[in-house]
Every structure is written in C-alpha cells, then in structure tokens.
Amino acid sequence: MRRPFIAGNWKLQKTIGEALELVEALKKQVAGVDGVDIVVAPVFTALTKVAEALDGSNISLAAQNCYTEKSGAYTGEVSPPFLKDAGCSYAIVGHSERRQIFGETSAFVNAKVKALLDEGLQAIFCIGETLQERESDQMYDVLSAQVKEGLTGLDAADMQNVVIAYEPVWAIGTGKTASNEQAGEAHAFIRGLVRGLFDEETAEAVRILYGGSVKPGNVDGLMAQPDVDGALVGGASLQADDFARIVKFERA
Ligand code: PGA
C-alpha cells in the first residue's frame, strides 16, 4: 500500500508572519493525523522560520524549486545543500509555472532531480500537459517525454526518493479540476511509464499526486482513484481549514 502524500504549494504567497500563522493553525488541525505524509512548501525566505515551527510536528518542509549546482558564482540561486540546511526534506521541481514562465527544460529539471537526490533530499517531480496538447491528442506523448527526460539516469533505488505530481496545466489555478476518470487514466498511464523505465516493484511503490484545483469538495473522489496517491495543492493550501480537510480526505 502506498502512503498518501498531501503537499501544499504556497507559490509566491505568505510572508514569514503569515506563513507562521498558517502553520500554527495547520499543526493544530492535523495533529492527530497519521498514515499520511503532509508537506508544505513556503517561499524561500520563510523556510527556516517555518522549519522551526514544524519541529516535532507531523508536517514536513519542501522548497518550491532548487538549482543544480551546490554552491559558487550563481547569483540568485538556492541549491539542495542550502535547502537541507534550512530544514527542507523535499523540493518541488518541474512545476509547470517554472517550465512555462521561466523556460525550464526537461533536461534542467532532470539535473535538479539528481542534485536533490545527491543531497539526500526527495524530489516532488511535476509533469502535465497543456489544454492545447490534450485537445490535439498529444497528451500521452508529452507525459511520456516529460517522464523519460525528467527521470533519465535514475535507477530504481533513486525512485524511492521521487514523488511524481501529475498537474494538467489547464487545471492549475483555474478551478477546472480533471474529472476523477481523467486523473485516474493519466495516473495509470504514468505508472505504466515508470514500470517500463524501471520495474514492477518501483511502479507499484512510486507515489503519483494529482494537482490542479484540488479542493475539500473534490479531493475524496480524486483520492478514490486507484492510481491517485495524493495531491499537490495550490490555492486551497493557503487556508488551514481547507488544507486540513484535504489532508483528512475520506478513504473510499
Ligand atoms: P491549484 O495549484 O491547486 O491552485 O490549482 C496547484 C499547483 O500549481 O500545484
């Protein structure tokens, strides 16, 4: 059985003070929850303070991005050793906003995944097709290329530290969630890709999160899909009540 994984991606929101308010509320609301990996991803500047606030709780810390080199003359970048130093266990990589707005390629995302694993951190590796790609029947080719290129050079043991997030771009921040069936289909396809690249055991063990307008009202149906193992939540992770309800999804 795969352990459910619910992560909140706060994006460029929540100052340090606001972030601390949110985690204090969240800690209370999810205090008794076990059997679910709970993760929050604040902005870089709030990481150390949030790490202190999360100490001893059942919530782990993720960064929203990382660089590929460890240190040096890379003005403006933050790398895995520094994220580890700040208290992170995970970093999100390959988010569609990074791919689209900042032009990140699959090769760059692949280097980020490797840099994280190299440091003993886990990668939340995002993939997903645009609406145009879905409507022109390119969805499976796009997902296939993103998975293959993003996981190039990894072996089955590395995959124990990778969580995949399927986030159809058209569902992010739009209020348009994929239907349970659409999510289930894409997840089954992605698990099949992992089976082909690695092996059956790795495919069965890897957690595949759905992301894109996950809310308290739709999480139960999405989580009931056999290949949906969790959620990467944007908007609804900014409210403690909503995020806690998503963490406490109802098991089918
Ligand atoms: P959303 O964002 O839940 O606001 O759609 C999801 C994400 O971008 O990870």
Task: Examine the residue annotation and report whether 187 is marked as an active-site residue of this protein.
Answer: no
Q: Which long-range contacts (CB under 8 A, 24 or more apart) does 236-244 make?
A: 237/7, 237/8, 237/9, 237/10, 237/40, 238/8, 238/10, 238/13, 238/14, 238/22, 240/22, 240/25, 240/26, 240/29, 241/29, 242/215, 242/216, 243/6, 243/8, 243/26, 244/26, 244/29, 244/30
| Portion of the chain with pLDDT greater than 70, in percent | 100
Which of 213, 218, 245 for mutating ligand 1's site (highest number of atoms within 8 Å of CB)?
A: 213
Task: Examine the residue annotation and report whether 167 is marked as an active-site residue of this protein.
Answer: yes
- Structure confidence by residue, pLDDT tens digits, 197-241: 999 999 999 999 999 999 999 999 999 999 999 999 999 999 999
> By C-alpha distance, which of 29, 70, 68, 56 is closest to 247?
29
Q: What is the pLDDT of residue 132?
A: 94
Confidence category of residue 50, pLDDT binned at 50, 70, 90? very high
Nearest C-alpha to atom 9 of ligand 1 is from which residue?
Answer: 234
Distance of CA 74 to the CA centre of its chain: 25
Which residue in 97, 104, 119, 167 is the catalytic one? Answer: 167
Cα of 199 from ligand 1 centre, angstroms: 30
- Structure confidence by residue, pLDDT tens digits, 69-124: 999 999 999 999 999 999 999 999 999 999 999 999 999 999 999 999 999 999 99
pTM: 0.98
**β-bridge partners, 233:** 8
